[in-house]
Amino acid sequence: MRDLGVALKETVEWTFRFSSNMNKKCYCLWLCLLVVSCSKCVDMKRVTGHLVTKENWKFLTRFCFLSGDDQNRLGSVQYSFQFPASYQGMQLYFYFDDQWKEIYDSEKTCEDKVSVLQPDYFQIIDLSEDYEWSGCQLMNHSGYSYNKCDGIRFFRSIRPRWWFITVGRCKPVNNNGINLTYYLHLTNGNLGDYFHRELSADQFTILEVDIAFLIFFVILACVAVVFSSKSL
């Protein structure tokens, strides 16, 4: 993620160099565009890609969820997957931080890595139309058969907890590995919770700091144009 403070600093330096050549109306218009564009500078945790590998277990992303004392506030992962029908047996795995320490960077087999998970807590999702919670459907388009899965998984925690998301085929019908197009949208909190919803819990203070930098540099930019106009 590009640091908002650095971006604004560069912008203000540009302002000092060129503000004397701008009339006030043009500068005000530019300043409004700056504020609007910076309001979109906060990264949302959206992960997308096309994974093709001969391996049968692969890491996708991680996110730090926090529900806190508000029991109505849930973390969530909204997912969308698509893969050829010949890659049946695909599963989605959710590891919390303590489990991840047991299997990360180890020589364990796919089965060993999955054995630490607890299916009763929905840490394993079968990406199959036979698994009702997966949101998967077998599709066919012009003779091409593929699975399309759309769903959501909720998280509740009383402390910040990292969750690690992987995909695997530990018991494949064939040994052709993984071929998966994926999209993940990870959130903390409810709609309208602008300071937390789109951020991992370890980044909760970033937005507040960036807003403070934004206000500071906008004020600094205004001072720059006032002094430059007086010197004309």
Q: What is the mean pLDDT of residues 27-53?
A: 63
Name which residue leads in pLDDT, 158 or 84.
Answer: 84
Domains and CATH numbers, the chain: 1-39 (no CATH), 46-188 (2.60.120)
Residue 199: which pLDDT band, with cuts at 50, 70 and 90? low
Tell me the three state secondary structure of residue 7.
Answer: helix
Whole-angstrom distance, CA of residue 182 vs CA of residue 81: 5
Q: What is the mean pLDDT of residues 210-228?
A: 68
Give the DSSP letter string of 20-59.
Answer: GGS-HHHHHHHHHHHHHHHTT-SPP-EEEEEEEES-SEEE
Name which residue leads in pLDDT, 231 or 97.
Answer: 97
Whole-angstrom distance, CA of residue 204 vs CA of residue 213: 16
Residue whose structure tokens are 């990406």: 127
Q: What is the pTM of this model?
A: 0.68
Q: What is the pLDDT of residue 39?
A: 44
Question: 32: phi > 0 → left, psi -120 to 50 → alpha, else beta; which?
Answer: alpha
Residue whose structure tokens are 């600093």: 9
Q: What is the pLDDT of residue 113?
A: 95
As a whole number of Å, the CA-based R_g of the chain is 24
pLDDT at 228 over 50: yes
Q: What is the mean pLDDT of residues 166-179?
A: 89
Q: What is the pLDDT of residue 36?
A: 46
pLDDT at 18 over 70: no
Closest CA to 130 of 157, 149, 112: 149
- Write the CA distances from 4 to 31, 34, 155, integer angstroms: 16, 12, 29
Closest CA to 3 of 38, 32, 31, 34: 38
Point out the least confidently predicted range of 92-96, 131-135, 175-179, 199-203. Answer: 199-203
User: Which of 35-39, 148-152, 175-179, 199-203 has the highest average model confidence (pLDDT)?
Assistant: 148-152
Point out the least confidently predicted range of 46-55, 69-78, 83-92. Answer: 69-78
Name which residue leads in pLDDT, 30 or 122.
Answer: 122
Give the DSSP letter string of 56-88.
Answer: SEEEEEEEEE--TT-TT--EEEEEEEEEEGGGT
Instruction: Residue count of the chain, please give it.
Output: 232
Closest CA to 72 of 190, 207, 171: 190
Q: What is the mean pLDDT of residues 102-114?
A: 89
